[in-house]
Structure 1
Amino acid sequence: MNDEITKRKLLDAICHGSIFFSATFVSIGVPIAIFFISNDDIVQNNAKEALNFHLNVWVYGIIFGILTVVVIGWPLLGILGIVTLVMPILAIIKVLSHPNEVYRYPFIFRVL
Structure 2
Amino acid sequence: MAETPTPPDDDAEIFRLAAAFAVAWEYEKALPDDEDNDDAIEAALAGAKSIVARMIDTPARTLAGVRAKAEALNWCHGGVFEGICPKSAENVSATQWPPTMDLRLADSVLFDLLAIANPASAEGNKP
Q: What TM-score do the two structures reach when normalised by structure 1?
A: 0.38
Structure of larger gyration radius = 2
Greater relative CO, 1 or 2 (CA 8 Å, sep 6+) = 1
